[in-house]
Amino acid sequence: MTQTSYNVRVEYDVSELPPDPIISALHEDLSRYDASIGSSPAGGLTVRLFLDADSPVDAGTRGVEYVQGALLKHEIYPDRMSGYEVLTEEEFDRQQALPLVPELAGMAEVAQITGTTKQRASQLRPALAPYLVQELASGPVYLAEGVRRFADKEYNRTPGVRRTEIPLSPLERALLETLAATSFGTEVPSPGAGHQVAAGAIEGVVGNGHQLHLHAQPDDSDVAVALGSLLEHGLVRTRRIYKKEMKDLDAGHEEDLVVSLTGKGERHSGITAGAAGSAGPEESK
């Protein structure tokens, strides 16, 4: 049978650690196993060995015997052995390479990873509970890797795949489709009255050609309410008009918005980019 290299860690409860000369002697006795000796997180004695064995059970049994024999040789009688751990050398090296503090994520990072707003990200807290590290005064802190797994597998983060359909009203759906069509320079397949209302609020495109200039709407207007819902679902992002963009606009546009679709919004719109060379909307003047 081919043997495998294992790392065996044995821990003991002791009232105090052996003096340095004894530690040095233990190192010498166990040198053939590349031993390391020190204190455990709980203050006990830890001895770690590397040895070749037929199985993890064989490695653990022999490792404990070797350590026990060395301790008895130097008249060290621990209160009790609190336990031992056996890992393949490959797994031991992998764990050693991990950072002492894993990457963490607050609510701003959760919003970024999931492609949502902070408000929407806060609604995901029950689903993210398995990855919670600690609740601070500033908010919850999560394992970033866990949030990524959640985003990839459960939160519509795979391109072309929708895990669940987002419930949108007819106007919200029309606004999303109209924004996507305008951004892509294509047409809505079956426009209706809602699409006409949405199109009437769009002034044109700005920035990189995929950001849309949306005329300011009263807070209680149908378009403003629909846009707020798209924001809540993480389908769009908004910002104010930049000063340099205002130079090319007439007075009365100070409260206008620039809207862009998130990747999630593009997928849920069902609108794809038009054929190359298709004419898009004119740049805002």
What does the pLDDT read at residue 164?
A: 59
Long-range residue pairs from 127-131, CB within 8 A, at least 24 positions apart, any chain:
127/154
Instruction: Give the contacts of 262 (CB within 8 A, at least 6 positions apart).
Output: 115, 116, 234, 235, 236, 237
Q: Which pLDDT score, from 0 to 100, does residue 136 have?
A: 92
**Position of tokens 């309410």?**
225
What gap in Å lies between CA 234 and CA 203, rounded to an integer?
22
Residue 157's pLDDT is what? 46
Residue type, 22: I
Provide the pLDDT for residue 85.
94
DSSP 116: -
The torsion region of residue 43 among left (phi > 0), alpha (psi -120 to 50) and beta comes to left
Size of the chain in residues: 285
| CA distance to 6, 39, 50, 88, 156, per residue, from 93 (Å) | 11, 20, 12, 9, 35
- Give the DSSP letter of residue 242: P
Cβ neighbours around 231 below 10 Å, total: 19
Single out the residue of 225, 210, 169 nearest to residue 192, CA to CA: 169
**CA–CA gap between residue 152 and residue 87 (Å, rounded):** 30
Taking 50 as the pLDDT cut, the residues of the chain under it are: 157-163, 275-285
Amino acid present at 5: S
Predicted pLDDT of residue 280: 39
Q: How far apart are CA 91 and CA 109, in angstroms?
A: 30
Q: Which amino acid is it at 131?
A: Y
Q: Could you tell me the two tokens for 114?
A: 């999931």
* Closest to 170 (Cα-Cα) out of 228, 234, 226, 236: 226
Phi, psi dihedrals of residue 269, rounded to the nearest 5°: -70, -30
> Which residues are CB-neighbours of 35 under 8 A, at least 6 positions away?
26, 27, 47, 48, 49
- pTM equals 0.42
Tell me how crowded residue 2 is: count the other CB atoms within 10 A of its CB: 5
Q: How many CB atoms lie within 10 A of CB 219?
A: 8
> Which amino acid, residue 144?
A
